[in-house]
């Protein structure tokens, strides 16, 4: 096992996409992986692949939006082996032919998974980490959280909340020995991006994204944003005058 590898890692949304890629990236002899997802067959395939690489891996079919169930599961995982790294990765996107008609329903569903799901993952892990005076938390936000995009209001809002909360949490927990990083990917191969029918500049394979994330976590980077051309473009869009930003974003394709 590499010297930069935590000994016990919990990853939500590990049955596909970036979550799956992270599980496989870290999997090695001597490592304990606690993985969750909502599709039992896909999750078991990831667990088996991690075991084939020598890791001790278990999977739990669970919805991160279920607060009490998540608290029980995270507590059980930490009791089996103290968690060194928790990656709150699970997320969904809304894809509706009529986003305005479905706005409230989609918003609540996406926020329940992408935002509440992060809270439900992090809070149960924080207590034991604070008692030990060590640990690392990684929150999966997105470059989509840098500004609101027409046609993706729910997704952008959920990721913006995660981004800002994670940045604040990093400062609040630094003196307690707990490291917090916010991950802001661009377009990465996943079940979410597979729904997109429009061009996705600088599209990245999930395994490459996982390597970037792992390096960033090892270096304790507060913000892990990639790929850099997309991250730069997102940052520039934030500082544009409102009228110009609106003119540009109104021309973007809808999900």
Sheet holding 178-185, edge to edge: 56-61, 32-37, 8-11, 85-88, 135-140, 178-185, 223-226
Q: With contact defined as beta carbons under 8 Å apart, do 211 and 204 qualify?
A: no
Residues 6+ apart with CB under 8 A from 63: 38, 69, 113
Where residue 177 falls (left for φ over 0; alpha for ψ -120 to 50; beta otherwise) is left
The question of whether 26 is a catalytic residue gets the answer no
N-terminal to C-terminal alpha carbon distance within the chain: 41
Q: With contact defined as beta carbons under 8 Å apart, do 166 and 182 qualify?
A: yes
Residue from 3, 37, 38, 40 nearest 19 by CA: 37
Residues tagged active-site: 155
């Amino acid at each position: 096992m590499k010297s930069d590898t935590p000994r016990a890692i919990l990853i939500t949304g590990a049955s596909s996409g970036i979550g799956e890629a992270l599980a496989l990236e870290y999997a090695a002899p001597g490592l304990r992986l606690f993985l969750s997802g909502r599709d039992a067959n896909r999750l078991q395939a990831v667990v088996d692949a991690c075991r084939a690489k020598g890791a001790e891996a278990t999977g739990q079919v669970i919805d991160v939006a279920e607060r009490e169930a998540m608290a029980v599961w995270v507590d059980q995982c930490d009791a089996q082996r103290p968690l060194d790294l928790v990656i709150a990765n699970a997320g969904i996107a809304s894809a509706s032919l009529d986003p305005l008609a479905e706005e409230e329903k989609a918003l609540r569903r996406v926020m329940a998974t992408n935002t509440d799901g992060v809270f439900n993952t992090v809070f149960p892990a924080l207590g034991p980490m604070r008692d030990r005076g060590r640990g690392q938390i990684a929150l999966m936000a997105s470059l989509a959280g840098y500004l609101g995009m027409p046609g993706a209001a729910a997704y952008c809002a959920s990721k913006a909340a995660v981004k800002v909360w994670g940045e604040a949490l990093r400062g609040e927990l630094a003196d307690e020995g707990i490291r917090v990083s916010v991950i802001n990917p661009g377009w990465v191969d996943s079940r979410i991006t597979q729904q997109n029918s429009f061009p996705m500049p600088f599209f990245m394979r999930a395994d490459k994204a996982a390597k970037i994330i792992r390096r960033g976590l090892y270096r304790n980077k507060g913000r892990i944003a990639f790929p850099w051309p997309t991250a730069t473009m997102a940052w520039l869009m934030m500082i544009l005058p409102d009228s110009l930003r609106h003119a540009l974003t109104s021309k973007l394709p809808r999900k």
